[in-house]
Amino acid sequence: MSALPDVLKNIVLFGRSGEEVYNRIFVVSAFAGVTNWLLENKKTGEPGVYHRIADHRDFRHALNDVAGKLQAMNQQYEAMGLNLAVADAFIEQRIHDAQRYLENLANILASGYVSGESILQAAREILASIGEAHSAFNFVNILLNNGLHATLVDLSGFHDQRSYTIDQRIKHSLKNIEFAKTLCVATGYTKGTEGIMREFDRGYSEVTFSKIAVAVKPGEAIIHKEYHLCSADPAVVGVDNCVPIGNTNYEVADQLADVGMEAIHPKASKPLEINGINLRIKNTFEPEHPGTLITREYICPHKRVEVITGSDKVLIVDVYDPLMVGTVGSDLAIMRVFHKYGISYIFKATSANSISVVVWEKNFNQKLIRELEEEFQKITVERVAIVCIIGSNIDQPGVLAKAATALAQQGINLKSAGFSLRKVNIQFVVARQDFREAIIALNQTMFFA
């Protein structure tokens, strides 16, 4: 959204004229950095307005600072046709209304009579909605001032007290719109009785996108990103050593998301997959390129690897106990502890006396280790990396040997490795310092050897 001139030229208007421009719904996120100011920095954890409320501190100045930043941001788009006075007045009023709601929540929280968790969850919902309302309003204003007919679909329900679920609000908001005569711009945040952030937190824009697609049954759902979905990360292997993935399926998309290379959040993609809605990932800055088409049924017509990916932000937790061999339920006991602390794993391997689990470092909890140590003899935690070869049709003799040989030739030792019966993802656990070299070696061997 921060590249609005490119969005207008390369998405809204590209290859279209007259009424061809219409009959589309755009689901927009907040401008870059805005949700970080409101909640917390997604990467660094730096606290935003929300944490002042959670810590029982005055949040008004922080919220007003955000209002000032949003109005300063508006000035960047005045040359595109944004009516600055109207846009500034909109966000000033929205922040004012949000502050009133948040003050009420803060007072209730301070009373100690109600559950703090539910109050704080409501505060996150209110704050999150501001960013998408700001970007959607500005986008519609710019479209209107550029001679296009546009309709704002504000799903934040900021002044609507009706108890709609998320799906009900979407259907109600879209029911009287003549799509063939307008461009709809919908907020990525949707207010619902179930609370969109309760389950999806910062992934809510994709959930709204998915639910709108299911509601209107489009010919195709498209996510526009600032890059292609590539066979490997260009920042690691170089732009000349990777290519966009032309076609793949939702199962491969799930594998990518599981190790952090997210085309779409799995919980947002499932409704699309179940309803047979194809998803396309496009690069905003290369509008002529068809991008990546993700479908339910696609299987590559010939056996090949489609993606090399992984992450160096993981830990391997090894649980060892000599009494584990032949004992029923050791794995269950370990998984119950992981479940207790809300930690999901992305890889697991077993031997007679040990079970090794790879988890995201950001989710690590020292209490989990202490609890495992109470039940099992030895717990080892190590910072590692995981690298994967993924594809819709990689089940071929020698692919595992070829990949392992490529790593061995670079002096990269395997700490663990594995794949499931479906053979869509072969995973290797390596030392963290070997991550980049492992990706490069596998990319070179699987695509260019």
CB 390 within 8 A of CB 248: no
Superfamily of domain 4-217: Acetylglutamate kinase-like (3.40.1160.10)
What number of other Cβ atoms are within 10 A of residue 10's Cβ?
Answer: 19
Q: Phi, psi (5° rounding) for residue 86?
A: -70, -45
pLDDT in tens, 72-127: 999 999 999 999 999 999 999 999 999 999 999 999 888 877 778 889 999 999 99
CATH numeric code, 307-448: 3.30.2130.10
pLDDT in tens, 278-329: 999 999 999 999 999 999 999 999 999 999 999 999 999 999 999 999 899 9
Model pLDDT, residue 2:
84
**What is the Cα–Cα distance from 91 to 97, expressed in whole angstroms?**
10
Residue position matching structure tokens 């009579």: 113
For residue 163, the one-letter residue type is S
Model pLDDT, residue 448:
67
Could you tell me whether strands 378-390 and 307-320 are parallel, antiparallel, or unpaired per DSSP bridges? antiparallel
| 3-class SS letters over the chain | CCCHHHHHHHHHCCCCCHHHHCCEEEEECCCCCHHHHHCECCCCCCECHHHHHHCCCCCHHHHHHHHHHHHHHHHHHHHHCCCHHHHHHHHHHHHHHHHHHHHHHHHHHHHCCCCHHHHHHHHHHHHHHHHHHHHHHHHHHHHHHCCCCEEEECCCCCCCCCCCCHHHHHHHHHCCCCHHHCEEEEECCCCCCCCHHHHHHHHHHHHHHHHHHHHHCCCCEEEEECCCCECCCHHHHCHHHCCECCEEEHHHHHHHHHCCCCCCCHHHHHHHHHCCCCEEEEECCCCCCCCEEEECCCCCCCCECCEEEEEEEEEEEEEECCCCCCCCCHHHHHHHHHHHCCCCEEEEEECCCEEEEEEEHHHCCHHHHHHHHHHCCEEEEEEEEEEEEECCECCCCCHHHHHHHHHHHCCCCEEEEECCCCCCEEEEEEEHHHHHHHHHHHHHHHHHC
C-alpha 442: how far from chain center: 26
CATH 3.40.1160.10 region(s) of the chain? 4-217
In the chain, which stretches have pLDDT less than 70? 448-449
Residue 59: exposure state from Cβ atoms within 10 A (0-12, 13-18, ≥19): buried
Query: Around 227, how many Cα atoms within 13 Å sit in the side-chain half-sphere?
Result: 13
CA distances, 67 to each of 29, 73, 120, 273, 383 (Å): 17, 10, 21, 39, 40
**Taking the CA atoms of the chain, what radius of gyration do you get in angstroms?**
24
Could you tell me whether strands 354-360 and 307-320 are parallel, antiparallel, or unpaired per DSSP bridges? antiparallel
CATH 3.30.2130.10 region(s) of the chain? 307-448
**What is the Cα–Cα distance from 390 to 449, expressed in whole angstroms?**
17
